[in-house]
Structure 1
Amino acid sequence: MDEFEIELKQSTLNELEDTLSDLIDYLQSNEFHLLDLDELFRAAHSLKGNSKAADFDSIAKVTHQLEDLLINRKDSSKEMTSKFYDLLLTYSEHIQSSIEQLKGDISLMPNLDELQNQIESFEDSTTEESSPKKAEVKGLKKLLLVDDDIDIYTIVNKYLNDKFEIDYVSNAVQAIEDCKLEDYDLIICDYKMPVMNGQEFALYLRQGSSKNKETPMIFLTAFSPKLFNQKSIWEEVFFMDKPIQKKKLQYYAKCALQSSYIKEKAS
């Protein structure tokens, strides 16, 4: 892969990330019966076109299937249902995960067969009640921030206090104690901290019996650390460079809320 192709793919990933962020925001900000099929189609069409141009074929293929489903739904004048809304959330989660994989290795071809099968086999009950149902989390969610720099708390609180009630601790040892008592929706953690670093804290949560064993995490770091090899540690973990960018932090927080909602629906 030559330098031009790499730059094209990386630039496209940024565009895909922005478009998907807008789509997730739209889904979470509206009751399902108020969603505009044209708005959803435009987002899908943009995601398909950009991914196809950069040869992210698996993303382009599955998004084309979703696009067809949206067209058929519009042509048949079907009302929006919670079941279809859940499919849109599932699609968004899979594409977000694929983008994260590609950011780590631009040459990967994400496997989206499971999502493809879900879209192909999707059937919607014509008798399903389409009364208003708020899928977005009601009220403030719980966030634990673990960082020995109080300035980070000031920044995170400024960017996320409209969505989260934020608990702040300055070290991972105290965070472990808090995680025994509170069930958090998101944990934001610095990597480099005294006593116990960020990935040691993540390892403790993932391998223990904490209420937060599967809580999504955002790792903050100013460098590229050497990470533990256990894949189970890094499920539902996002990596974010310092200094913190508002848009990216809000985007990852939305993804965490979306992931939690889908897991609740599946349980």
Structure 2
Amino acid sequence: TPYWLFGRNIVFPYLAPVLAAWLSTAGAGAYQYLAVRRRWRQAEADKSRYQQAMHFVTHEMRTPLTAIQGSSELIARYKLSEEKRRQIAELIHSESRRLARMIETFLSVERLAAGQVDLKRELFQADEVVAACAERARPLAERKRIRLRVEPVTNGALLGDRELMEYAIYNLLSNAIKYSPPDTEVRVTGTRRGEQVAIAVRDQGFGMDRDELRHIFRKFYRTKRAEASGEKGTGIGLAIVQEIVKQHGGSIEVESEPGKGSCFTVLLPAASEARAALPQS
């Protein structure tokens, strides 16, 4: 033992450096093991969410495909009145567009992240975008008896892709309605913050805790409350919103607390007078 060696004046001059090196190596190895294990667990969790999302997609795709197939067979096999044919044709058209939108949604995240989507550079008013999104979302709110309150956005000129921005704001608005209980309020406001335009969507839903807030913009992530709500979703919408806002040079702030609702605020650079006068292509 070290005590027995020390009592007999037997000293190994290199023992301390060797022990220090061994302990350093062991410590580094343990840290590397824990880091790799943590990354492996994260990869497994991402894989599981991806598989769940793909299962949802295939399930959702089956519905419009079944409708299209059944409707086309009806037209091919039976003599139908002109009015019935028109109704079936409208159904096929509606379901095919729904299927196309679903596929486009899943492709949009990767294209945006890779910078493969060419953003339009057009001048538009934030107030017009908010009004258009509110009009689309109002039937959803009425079905759930949710009050949709929209305040005008003053001095909110923006430069960018209006169509993509409408997608982003509508996604936030529809999420607020989807995950809010009946007889509550969803409020949309817009203000100027210096050189930025801030568009906020606030709800009175079940909210999120700090751990959930750290992950909400990750692709295919859904909170436990969202999954338990019974509302369908893929966990990909917020990832698209974040990419759209990022491509416009903006950012998103999120405030939320369990049981007290959430507030998503989109911050976008305001169009200057010079750029408003000479929009770039």
TM-score (norm 2): 0.26
Q: Which has the higher strand share?
A: 2
TM-score (norm 1): 0.27
Larger Cα Rg: Structure 1 or Structure 2? 2
